[in-house]
Structure 1
Amino acid sequence: MDIVLILLVALAVEFTLGDPPNVVHPVAWIGKAISSLERLGFIGGKTYQFVYGAVATLGLTAVVITASLFIVSWLKDINYVLYVIVAGVLLKMTFSFVYLRKTALHIKHLIENDETLDKARFELRALVSRNTSKLTRPYLVSATVESVSESLCDSLVSPLFFFVVFSLFGPYGIAAAFGFRVVSTFDSMIGYHGKYEYLSKFPARLDDVLNYLPARISALLVVVAAGITRMGARRTWSIARVDHLKTESPNAGWPMAAAAAALRVQFEKIDHYRLGRADRPMTPEVVDDSLRLINSATWVWFIICFAAGGLLYALAKA
């Protein structure tokens, strides 16, 4: 029952306390560690940067996995109730969806008013890496909804995927979820071209490998959610199968293309990609529909994770 109980605690924390301040947030600590490691990444040439990026990524991942595995294993030996509570809190630190949805709604309200468009452009930088300073309203909506759909994989499906899978082999689920979060944070902080091209090659490619299955699961979840919300599951899958290839990332295109298809809009990142079909205008109301779609996909994923935990418990008792 470990998977089920830990998930219940994690959900309770997500809906009540939410994320703690950065000063006590493990993922914020990981980000600070990456910033410190980054400073030594440019004292050599391209080969040095690549090797350093690989060593730094694997080294920090190993440290975080070891530390989290030690904590949960030690607590499980001492007190089971305390183990479940702490493991649930730690698991919550690896995923987020309530905060992201609130942020998307806040930006949507800013986009709706001409007087607050500049503020929307500024605050959207918290969700996307592109230059938002000159984006018009349709492009602001597109960037917001793209972030919401892509976050289904990076911020929810992936960490819980590794938690559930590695929990099948013992108390390794929390460590696996944090291991993924280290790699994902590396990629989000330095996984760009230009200055970070060689330093980020290893963490970026490793992130692609780790997200390979979760990204495709995320697309399937969006298809199921499209059926639940009556947005057209068959059409969603048909377009996602074609358009996911249009993004540079081998994974990000899956949930985004599926969401664009379900919403009957076209996502566009200027000079990079166009996903979906422009059957309706990109108005702020699309943000509401995207949240309804992704929220449905989120709950389908939670049900699957709970079912996996329940099945494992039943098999263990059989």
Structure 2
Amino acid sequence: MHKGISTAAGLLFGFALDRVFADPRRWHPVAGFGTAAAALEQQTYADAHRAGILHETVAVGSVLAFAAVAARGGLLATTLATWTVLGGRSLARAGRDMADRLDAGDIDAARELLPSLCGRDPSVLDADGLARAALESIAENTSDATVAPLLWGAVAGVPGLLGYRAVNTLDAMIGYRNERYLRFGWAAARTDDVANLVPARVTGLLTVVLAPLVGGTPGQAWQAWRQDARKHPSPNAGVVEASMAGALGVRLGGRTQYRYGAELRPTLGTGRAPETEDLRRAVRMSEAVQIGAVAVSAALALLRR
């Protein structure tokens, strides 16, 4: 089978598996990588950039070496790798569960669910804060959990899929600007920024094009992206969150409380504060963008030589 056809088919089959089965609740390979990376950190940690660079090189390099061997499995390997790294179905399910709990007025249950979506401190958030946090997480993780791995898989096959997931996982683990990880996590955060530069913008473009599906307009989504994305401290999260805010006609950003401290995020969009129904609309947008991303990625893989 032609390599491009095999890769495209593997991406489509793996995406279908994610839609049907979602992430395995136990023995997930990504969780296994996280455990191994945490153990490695015990050996490599130092409050210095060079230690973080070594940690990133060893952790991601090991995954790439494994992926290069696994890629010999052709279509089956690509299918399984795609299913392993995607998290779109689980993301949408968590978003809907959060909306259900907020609609039921069960704030405690909603707070318990938030850590599955993002790293913010749920104990200080009310219903509106939980809705905003979940919506912003849906926007960002649509890119991180689906669009980015699919695009990397399209251009680099199994190594692209697994390597991207390793980079993104390390950023989630140590890419914080707190006292412990400010220097050690620098390499992980910057590598993740580079890996997501193109995927975030593809996500933004898909959000602009698909805005009418959630009652928005491409013009509003594009305007929010162009006016507000650059205000965000992340070169990538700003793009996907601003375009989502514009598509939904809501306002995101503001004081954001993490476990390591608070950040004052810039305002994205010019609409009202998000409500529970907006969170449901964000989930629908996420699922539409995911479908668009797998179509684009499969087409891109077919162009490989």
TM-score normalized with structure 1 length: 0.87
Aligned counterpart, 2:298: 306
Aligned counterpart, 1:93: 84
Of the candidates 174, 186, 201, which is equivalent to residue 158 of structure 2? 174
Aligned letter for 2:150? Answer: L
Q: Structure 1 residues 8 and 247 mapped into 2: Cα distance closer, same or farther (>3 Å)?
A: same
Distance 2:279 2:141 in 1: 14
Structure ID, larger Rg: 1
Distance 2:12 2:196 in 1: 24
Residue 277 of structure 1 deviates from its aligned partner by 1.3
Aligned counterpart, 2:94: 103
Give deviations 1:155-180, integer Å, cap 9, x for gaps: 111111111112xxxxxx11122111
Distance 2:61 2:120 in 1: 31
Aligned counterpart, 2:195: 210
CA RMSD of aligned residues (A): 1.7
> In the comparison of the two structures, how many residue pairs are matched?
292
Aligned counterpart, 1:251: 236
Distance 2:155 2:76 in 1: 20
Aligned letter for 1:96? Answer: G
Distance 2:10 2:171 in 1: 27
Aligned counterpart, 2:113: 123
2:111/2:122 contact within 8 Å kept: yes
Of the candidates 188, 191, 202, which is equivalent to residue 175 of structure 2? 191
Unaligned runs of 5+ in 1: 76-82, 167-172
2:140/2:240 contact within 8 Å kept: yes
Residue 95 of structure 1 deviates from its aligned partner by 1.4
Aligned counterpart, 2:18: 14
Q: Structure 1 residues 17 and 188 mapped into 2: Cα distance closer, same or farther (>3 Å)?
A: same
Aligned counterpart, 1:72: 71
Q: State the SS of the aligned residue for 1:250.
A: coil
Aligned counterpart, 1:282: 274
Distance 1:187 1:207 in 2: 6
Aligned letter for 2:153? Answer: F
Residue 256 of structure 1 deviates from its aligned partner by 0.5
Does residue 158 of the first structure (1) align with residue 162 of the second (2)? no
Residue 286 of structure 1 deviates from its aligned partner by 0.7
Distance 1:108 1:304 in 2: 30
Aligned letter for 1:240? Answer: W
Q: Structure 1 residues 134 and 229 mapped into 2: Cα distance closer, same or farther (>3 Å)?
A: closer
Aligned counterpart, 2:249: 264
Residue 133 of structure 1 deviates from its aligned partner by 0.8
Q: State the SS of the aligned residue for 2:122.
A: coil
Q: Structure 1 residues 176 and 198 mapped into 2: Cα distance closer, same or farther (>3 Å)?
A: same
Matches within 5 A, 1:135-150: 135-150=125-140
TM-score normalized with structure 2 length: 0.90
Residue 35 of structure 1 deviates from its aligned partner by 0.9
Distance 2:34 2:159 in 1: 17
Aligned letter for 2:298? Answer: F
Aligned letter for 2:10? Answer: I
Aligned counterpart, 1:63: 62
Q: How many percent of aligned residue pairs carry the same amino acid?
A: 27
Of the candidates 35, 39, 52, which is equivalent to residue 38 of structure 2? 35
Distance 1:285 1:142 in 2: 11
Kindly indicate whether structure 1 or structure 2 has the higher relative contact order, using CA contacts under 8 Å at least 6 residues apart. Answer: 2
Q: State the SS of the aligned residue for 1:67.
A: helix
Aligned letter for 1:13? Answer: L
Distance 2:297 2:197 in 1: 18
Distance 1:228 1:308 in 2: 24
Residue 225 of structure 1 deviates from its aligned partner by 1.0
2:11/2:298 contact within 8 Å kept: yes
2:98/2:110 contact within 8 Å kept: yes
Residue 20 of structure 1 deviates from its aligned partner by 2.3
Residue 230 of structure 1 deviates from its aligned partner by 4.5
Distance 1:180 1:281 in 2: 33
2:214/2:248 contact within 8 Å kept: no
Q: State the SS of the aligned residue for 1:241.
A: helix
Distance 1:159 1:246 in 2: 26
Unaligned runs of 5+ in 2: 256-263
